[in-house]
């Protein structure tokens, strides 16, 4: 999970955005690490969006559908202005990341958001979702040895 390579024209844009990012550089690095860990243990792509959601959940769904692999993606969208949280899971993983797991994650997140800690809330939510979506290691298969 390396950062954008030097010399890449996109690197400058990223640098500019960091100035107005809602997160500090360590917070961003920590979130990226958490997302990478979640991807490593589940095989799913977890993404975070923090910003306006004009149409609420519909905006979050529209954004999730634009992911490279929407069927296997989980989007956590937060609108701090409206104080809304939207968790959108791809159609192929609605059972793996079920309603109960999403509710638990949303509870963990909103309790952090309510005290003003967006980054910590996102971190907790990622952990809860990833833990529920984790594929347990198989010790025995149905293939005779």
Q: Please report how close the Cβ of residue 104 comes to another protein at its closest, in angstroms.
A: 10
Q: Please report how close the Cβ of residue 78 comes to another protein at its closest, in angstroms.
A: 10
Q: Which helix (H) or strand (E) holds 72?
A: none
User: Nearer Cβ to another protein, position 45 or 134?
Assistant: 45
For 21, what's the count of Cα atoms within 13 Å in the CB-facing half-sphere? Answer: 17
Is residue 110 within 8 Å of 83, Cβ to Cβ?
A: no
Lookup: tokens for 76: 């956590």
User: Nearer Cβ to another protein, position 116 or 141?
Assistant: 116
User: Nearer Cβ to another protein, position 42 or 118?
Assistant: 118
User: Nearer Cβ to another protein, position 93 or 134?
Assistant: 93
Residue 135 burial (CB count, 10 A) = 10
Q: Please report how close the Cβ of residue 6 comes to another protein at its closest, in angstroms.
A: 14
- Which residues, other chains included, contact 7 with Cβ-Cβ below 8 Å and sequence gap of 6+? none
Q: Please report how close the Cβ of residue 124 comes to another protein at its closest, in angstroms.
A: 13
């Amino acid at each position: 999970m390396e950062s954008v390579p030097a010399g890449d024209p996109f690197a400058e844009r990223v640098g500019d955005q960091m100035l107005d990012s809602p997160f500090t550089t360590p917070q961003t690095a920590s979130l990226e690490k958490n997302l990478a860990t979640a991807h490593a243990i589940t095989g799913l792509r977890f993404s975070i969006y923090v910003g306006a959601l004009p149409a609420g959940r519909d905006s979050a769904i529209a954004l999730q559908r634009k992911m490279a692999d929407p069927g296997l993606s989980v989007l956590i969208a937060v609108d701090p202005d409206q104080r809304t949280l939207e968790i959108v899971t791809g159609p192929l993983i609605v059972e793996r990341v079920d309603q109960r797991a999403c509710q638990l994650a949303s509870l963990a997140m909103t309790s952090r958001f309510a005290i003003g800690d967006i980054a910590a809330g996102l971190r907790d939510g990622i952990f809860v979702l990833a833990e529920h979506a984790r594929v347990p290691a198989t010790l025995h298969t149905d293939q005779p040895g």
